[in-house]
Amino acid sequence: MENMNNEEELMLCMHDIHKSFGDLEVLRGIDLEVRRGEVLAIIGPSGSGKSTLLRCINKLETIDSGRIEIKGETLAETDDSGKAVYVEAKKGRRLLSSMGMVFQQFNLFPHMTVLGNLLEAPMMVKGLRREEIEPYARELLQKVGLSDRADYYPSQLSGGQQQRVAIARALCMKPDIMLFDEPTSALDPELTGEVLRTMRELAAEHMTMVVVTHEMGFAREAASHVLFMADGSIVEQGRPAALFGHPQEERTRSFLQNML
């Protein structure tokens, strides 16, 4: 199994990533790899740099130094001066378009219907005609259990429904990699289950996913790999069974104990 997995295409590779906000070094040399169909869960205390790391993957934040490769192609790389340089805009856009992101706060367009939210980027960014994308958008709404809500506005939906719309909206761009930043943290506990179920289904369909989460059950059951971060560094990583069952570092042990 391990070997088969290693032959899968490298979807995302980050090497020696450094990022500071002013004097604060938030990422202190992060390395990670994600292969096709893998689900990488990133866990760790608040303020450890998880969101920043995720946002560096799709250039919502730029890195100071290090290397980022998407599907084997370089997005950014440190040059001779020691600073990261990004590839030219057109190639950058192409690489970044292979990623979809879901945020803690849903970030739906409030003045658009659910269907409108799904159609917006495919039509405006990819230039598709409505009839080219609407059947797929409706298929995705069905997949997340919201086919009867196509004409609703976000404010008319529960938080769990809004987050499922946000997932369908990201999927409507046909990404190869899905990034999730604590997608259930803003939800009432009774609504987290429906969102996690949708994410588990995506994982079962072998969507490549990077998920920052506080949901240890999800990380344990749905992730292929778990990475524990603290203070901008990776403290420990491994298969969920190993990391949750036999954490090697004291820091990991005390974090996991507090999460129970």
User: Applying CB under 6 A, what is the total number of residues that bind ligand ADP?
Assistant: 11
Q: Which residues are paired to 128 by β-bridges?
A: none
Closest distance between ligand ADP and the C-beta of residue 186, in Å? Answer: 14
Closest distance between ligand ADP and the C-beta of residue 106, in Å? Answer: 17
Instruction: List the structure tokens of 30.
Output: 């992060």
Site residues for ligand ADP, 46-105, by CB under 6 A, read 46-52
When CB distances are held under 5 to 8 angstroms depending on the partner's kind, the choice from Mg ion, ligand ADP, none that residue 66 binds is none
Stretch of 44-52, 68-76, 163-171, 241-249 lying at the interface with Mg ion (CB under 5 A): 44-52
Strands (E), the chain: 10-21, 24-35, 39-43, 65-70, 73-78, 84-86, 99-102, 177-181, 208-212, 225-230, 233-238
Is residue 51 near Mg ion by the rule CB under 5 A? Answer: yes
Instruction: List the structure tokens of 169.
Output: 């909206």
Which residue number, 65 or 117, has a Cβ lying nearer to ligand ADP?
A: 65
Instruction: Name the region of 72 (left: φ>0; alpha: ψ -120 to 50; beta: rest).
Output: left
Site residues for ligand ADP, 179-238, by CB under 6 A, read none
When CB distances are held under 5 to 8 angstroms depending on the partner's kind, the choice from Mg ion, ligand ADP, none that residue 18 binds is none
Strand, helix or coil at 1? Answer: coil
When CB distances are held under 5 to 8 angstroms depending on the partner's kind, the choice from ligand ADP, Mg ion, none that residue 48 binds is ligand ADP
The percent helix, strand, coil of the chain (3-state, each to 5) is: 40, 25, 35
Q: By the criterion CB under 6 A, which residues form the site for ligand ADP?
A: 21, 24, 26, 44, 46-52
Q: By the criterion CB under 5 A, which residues form the site for Mg ion?
A: 51
